[in-house]
Structure 1
Amino acid sequence: MEGVQSKAPQDPSSTKPRGEKSLMIAQVSLRSLVIICTLAASCLIFTSKQTTIVYGIPFDASYSYEPAFQFFGIANVAVCVLCLLSLGTVFFLSHRLANFFLFLHDLVVLTVLMAACAGSTAVGQIGRNGNTHSSWMPICDHFAKFCTRVATSVAFSYLAVLMFFALTVLSALRIQAKPI
């Protein structure tokens, strides 16, 4: 029976526990998906522009006319870049303090992305439905292509928010799993 067993001793410190590997795989997968979603959201918002003629007068709609949409686009680019940079650190973090800083990073980035989504959603709701109390008329009936692109961009970003929330939870679990 001795011949069947492996003669080379395994170093227990060289192999990671199965739970830690699963956490790392989940983090890498979610960070990759967040990068894709935020990149798609920023590309859609930065290319959203439409010109239409209403009563013989040409009108333009562009993301750059609304500060909330500008913040939304810039925030998605920033989240994409920061997530890309943090993707590499996931492999090398082994100290509990480093995992804590990754958790804080994820929490701050999640907050910025949620703020951008909330602002864009509020402006988009006014654009779609108007506001009768302020005499703001809805514009999406005249700028359907623009509104559809903005709504799709915001949907991608909300998907990234959900994934970043899961990443924040995983980062917290990774802190708990590490010995001091």
Structure 2
Amino acid sequence: MKSGGDSTTIDVVAHEGSGTSKGKGPILMAPVKEGKGGMKRGMAIIDLVLRSGAIVSALAAAATMGTSDQNLPFFTQFFQFEASYDDMPSFQFFLIAMSLVAGYLVLSIPFAIVSIVRPHASGPRLLLLILDVVALTLATSAAGAATSIVYLAHNGNASSNWLAICNQFGDFCRNVSGAVVASFVTVVTFMFLILLSALALRKHH
């Protein structure tokens, strides 16, 4: 009976130990939660770095386009050859669109910082995701419109009597081409930003 009682006592203790380990389950999960928070904070830091790079590329695109202007050296007082971005509506739209995109990116920096400080908050991340999609659409349309004009400036179009002007206005074409390249850098950066936001929001569920 004594050994049987001891066995019963041992069984009860083992049972309670098992229950205790189950009770400590949520405590053991705390480091995992902290690890997820660290991952989200790391993604938010990458988002901030990419967003800062997109500001530089968008501003470079707008500034380069806005200063694209060239006069040919052979002109008189009454007649001259000039190429300027404001001669073409597509380039004007490009300048306005990229300026708006750059302004939005600057305003989005505080929300990106909030995402670093509070990595588990989904509100700022969701807002950035929606606005990034809108900005991506605007930047893509501006880059596409400007690209078509740059292509015509370099190659012309015999069917519609568009003459290639880059042989004469080399500096102008280099500037607008550089602006278009910078705008596509902005577009690609926005794609990564949207992907990061989507992954961060997915981690919340």
Pick the TM interval, shorter chain.
0.7 to 0.9
Aligned identity (percent) is 31
Secondary structure at the aligned position of 1:61 is classed as strand
Question: Which segments of 5 or more consecutive residues in structure 2 lack a partner in the other structure?
Answer: 1-29
Q: Quick one: which amino acid aligns to residue 170 of structure 1?
A: L
1:44 is matched with 64
* Match runs of 1:98-137 below 5 Å: 98-137=124-163
1:24 is matched with 44
Across the aligned residues of Structure 1 and Structure 2, the Cα RMSD in angstroms comes to 2.3
Question: Which segments of 5 or more consecutive residues in structure 1 lack a partner in the other structure?
Answer: 1-9
Which has the larger share of helix?
2
Name the larger-Rg structure.
Answer: 2
Cα separation, partners in 2 of 1:138 and 1:13, compared to 1, 3 Å: same
1:3 is matched with none
Give the structure-1-normalised TM-score: 0.86
Cα deviation for residue 92 of structure 1 reads: 2.1
1:138 is matched with 164
1:74 is matched with 96
Rounded to whole Å, the distance in 2 between the matches of 1:14 and 1:166 is 25
Establish whether residue 83 from structure 1 lines up as the match of residue 109 from structure 2: no
Q: More relative contact order in 1 or in 2 (CA 8 Å, sep 6+)? A: 1
Cα deviation for residue 15 of structure 1 reads: 8.8
Rounded to whole Å, the distance in 1 between the matches of 2:160 and 2:139 is 28
Secondary structure at the aligned position of 2:72 is classed as strand
After TM superposition, the runs of 4+ consecutive aligned structure 1 residues lying more than 4 A away are 10-16, 53-57
Cα deviation for residue 53 of structure 1 reads: 5.2
